[in-house]
Structure 1
Amino acid sequence: MTATLVTGANKGLGFETARRLIADGHTVYLGSRDAGRGRQAAEQLGARAVQLDVTDDASVAAAVTAIEADGGLDVLINNAGIEERSDNNVVIGPADATADLMRRTFETNVFGTVRVLHAFLPLLRRSAAPVVVNVSSGLASLTGVSNPGAPAYGYPGVAYPASKAAVNMITVQYAKAFPGMRINAVEPGFTKTDLNGNTGVQTVEQGAEIIVRMAQVGLEGPTGGFFDAEGTLPW
């Protein structure tokens, strides 16, 4: 049975991804920064709860120890992420973006992704068919945000798209370094979740589609790519 870890999975896209993969026969480790919420979500789904704060080395190390003791890992889904907004749910644009804002965003979205991936590499390398899915965003596409005709062009924020662009670069470089793994970045679409103050235009069921699909690619599947539900996206 395929063992899969989903970070940030006690709600939203992570929760729906875990639900779908369990239905497809995966053993899912539901990673959650809040242990209580994680246990509650895991019990609801039939997953295995793992306390996991992607910004904390000790938390990640403990999660590795627990999952290794339980048999190992085949699929890692780096889903945990943040997008900071103002108190009235407005995206923070260039005039108000600070180094501290960038640092907080990168701590979770970029450094957290690297921290978790680096820690779980030994387990993934023991798998017969290791897969990594990094949840990115269409806002990470330099092509999209610089094209006046693209939906991403109108997004005013700095920290979130910059962090996801970094995730895309991490994806490419890790995929080249580990050709025996399938490592891809995905764009779920503008999904209604707490991350964006529930302003998204699609459901978590729709958003999770590409995450679930890329979590189940075989050894001959793509690697080092950037995908949404419709296909390959431009960098």
Structure 2
Amino acid sequence: MAKWKRGRFLVRCWHGWEKEAWRDPVKGKADVHYPSFDTVVNWLNFLGISSGIFLDDVGWEEVISEGKSLEQEVVKKTLARVDDVDLKEVLGEVAGYLGEEDVLRISDLIFVFGSKSLSRIQKAVELYKGGLAPKIFITGGHPFYEQGEPEAQVFRGYAVERGVPEKDIIVEPESITVADNVRRSLNLFDKMGMKYLKMILVTAWFAQRRSWAFMMKYISEDQVLYRVNSPVKPGGEYTPDR
């Protein structure tokens, strides 16, 4: 039964990946890996959980299939020691790494990753009104296993209601994963002839490192990214700003 469920899960993932856009990494970056697993390995070691999935040479099938059970074990053991001062320090290092931000500079574009919370577009509108960039680009459909209005369109409506001119908003409403967000959006930039050197990335802290790492694979050395985190609202529903 476990093998059957794992196989079904892998097939489901594959059907999702088939829908993603493709783009070749910038020359010289195909084999460059921007994330570091040091903090998560430290976390797993602290909990007494094997970190081999991050250190050994394993295929993507194993990463995907074993990742779900690993996730459950990490959550269970972390919650069991939630009051441990040493664990809090370890988790602080993980959060600090994943959510690292940059000192903002005036840029050409605010790049917003979609989600089920309005926090990200709220932050983007704040930056836009603060004069940090003249355009807001919103990317996001919804996960391949969900239906409904694309996240990018919901965000666009929010921004317009808050006074951002429609001419200053560009949307990409079809992407289904972070990797797809990046590749599909950059492909659209090329199609539209959009030029940019500096871009502000807006997403939640827990997705910031992943989003930045994907983007770094596809931009040239003379292009600059500035990371800024939006607040996180538990529940992820489309809630109005408070």
Q: Do both share a fold (TM > 0.5)?
A: no
**TM-score, with normalisation over the residues of structure 2?**
0.36
Looking at CA atoms only, which structure, 1 or 2, has the larger radius of gyration? 2
Bigger relative contact order, structure 1 or 2, given CA contacts below 8 A and separation 6+? 2
